[in-house]
């Protein structure tokens, strides 16, 4: 890894932004690919007049499904965190000395000498025992806390925005070139989500954009194939 990369990475940690922004980029990407595929399927089957209705239905169905899916997945994560938290509160109440020793043991494993580990554990326990256990034993951080509603809204909205892009392509004033307009708009959108996702993750630009681009194109190609097969 080039030195400037290491440097940049240390200057701007990305992981704290991972939650709802990740959901938003994924949602936009899903919206682009699934609505484009849907529209191309319909256009390839020759049902041009159905394109606007199909696009809107696709956006509505997709955003709802994204919202529900994301909500359930993040909520179950949040349930697990909550159960862990309750268990930790119980353990601290029943066996404070054992918990203190457990915390010290964690710091020893991370490389501190035993007496220093014990000191650190005592200080953290004094300040906020529960917080220290949640953080250092279970890896819970307040900024990473699962937020189901926020994630659900972010992914539904971004799916709708992503899905609107191929629909715009379908609405372009051409009759023979509909498929190509949908493809063109979608590919431009995919470059957009690829660039955003690389910026968010701090991952290499070209590789990330290519990955998103190729994945999306494959999706469209396959449904175009299915659409022209079931030409009815």
In the DSSP assignment, the letter for residue 127 is H
Inter-CA distances, 147 with 74, 85, 172, 207, Å: 7, 16, 39, 30
The distance of closest approach from Cβ of residue 88 to Zn ion in the complex, given in angstroms and rounded to an integer, is 5
* Of 228, 203, 216, nearest in space to 166 by CA: 216
**Under a CB-based contact definition with an 8 Å cutoff, are residues 64 and 156 in contact?**
yes
Please report whether residue 105 would count as binding Zn ion according to CB under 5 A.
no
Please report whether residue 121 would count as binding Zn ion according to CB under 5 A.
no
The distance of closest approach from Cβ of residue 83 to Zn ion in the complex, given in angstroms and rounded to an integer, is 14
**Under a CB-based contact definition with an 8 Å cutoff, are residues 36 and 166 in contact?**
yes
Please report whether residue 131 would count as binding Zn ion according to CB under 5 A.
no
**Nearer to Zn ion by C-beta: 14 or 123?**
123
* Residue entry with tokens 């256009």: 43
d(CA 177, CA 179): 6
Please report whether residue 81 would count as binding Zn ion according to CB under 5 A.
no
The distance of closest approach from Cβ of residue 138 to Zn ion in the complex, given in angstroms and rounded to an integer, is 8
Q: Which stretch binds Zn ion (CB under 5 A): 61-69, 135-143, 156-164, 183-191?
A: 135-143
* Of 3, 73, 32, 19, nearest in space to 170 by CA: 32
Per-residue b or e along 178-195, where b marks 16 or more CB atoms closer than 10 Å to that residue's CB: bbebbbebbbebbebbbe
**Nearer to Zn ion by C-beta: 4 or 126?**
126
**Under a CB-based contact definition with an 8 Å cutoff, are residues 162 and 27 in contact?**
yes
Q: Which stretch binds Zn ion (CB under 5 A): 37-45, 130-138, 173-181, 219-227?
A: 130-138
**Nearer to Zn ion by C-beta: 138 or 201?**
138
Residues 22-61 that bind Zn ion (CB under 5 A): none
Q: What angle do CA 26, 29, 32 make, to 5 degrees?
A: 150
The distance of closest approach from Cβ of residue 90 to Zn ion in the complex, given in angstroms and rounded to an integer, is 10
Among the listed residues 84, 105, 136, 137, the single contact to Zn ion using CB under 5 A = 137
- Size of residue set near Zn ion by CB under 5 A: 3
Q: Which stretch binds Zn ion (CB under 5 A): 96-104, 109-117, 190-198, 216-224?
A: 96-104
Q: What is the CA radius of gyration of the chain?
A: 24
Please report whether residue 118 would count as binding Zn ion according to CB under 5 A.
no
The distance of closest approach from Cβ of residue 147 to Zn ion in the complex, given in angstroms and rounded to an integer, is 24
Among the listed residues 133, 134, 164, 208, the single contact to Zn ion using CB under 5 A = 133
- What residues line the site for Zn ion (CB under 5 A)? 99, 133, 137
């Amino acid at each position: 890894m080039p030195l400037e990369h290491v440097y940049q990475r240390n200057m701007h940690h990305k992981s704290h932004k991972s939650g709802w922004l990740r959901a938003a980029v994924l949602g936009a990407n899903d919206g682009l690919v699934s609505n484009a595929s849907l529209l191309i399927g319909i256009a390839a089957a020759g049902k041009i007049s159905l394109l606007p209705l199909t696009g809107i239905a696709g956006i509505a169905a997709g955003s709802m499904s994204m919202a529900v899916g994301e909500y359930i997945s993040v909520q179950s994560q949040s349930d697990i965190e909550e159960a862990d938290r309750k268990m930790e509160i119980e353990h601290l109440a029943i066996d404070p000395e054992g918990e203190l020793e457990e915390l010290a043991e964690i710091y020893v494993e991370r490389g501190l000498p035993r007496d220093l580990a014990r000191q650190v554990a005592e200080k953290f326990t004094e300040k906020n025992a529960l917080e220290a256990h949640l953080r250092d034993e279970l890896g819970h951080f307040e900024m990473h806390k699962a937020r189901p509603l926020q994630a659900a809204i972010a992914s539904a909205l971004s799916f709708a925005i992503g899905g609107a892009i191929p629909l715009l392509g379908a609405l372009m004033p051409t009759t023979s070139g509909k498929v190509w307009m949908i493809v063109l708009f979608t590919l431009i959108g995919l470059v957009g989500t690829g660039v955003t996702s690389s910026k968010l993750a701090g991952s290499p630009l070209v590789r990330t954009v290519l990955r998103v681009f190729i994945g999306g194109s494959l999706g469209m190609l396959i449904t175009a194939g299915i659409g022209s097969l079931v030409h009815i």
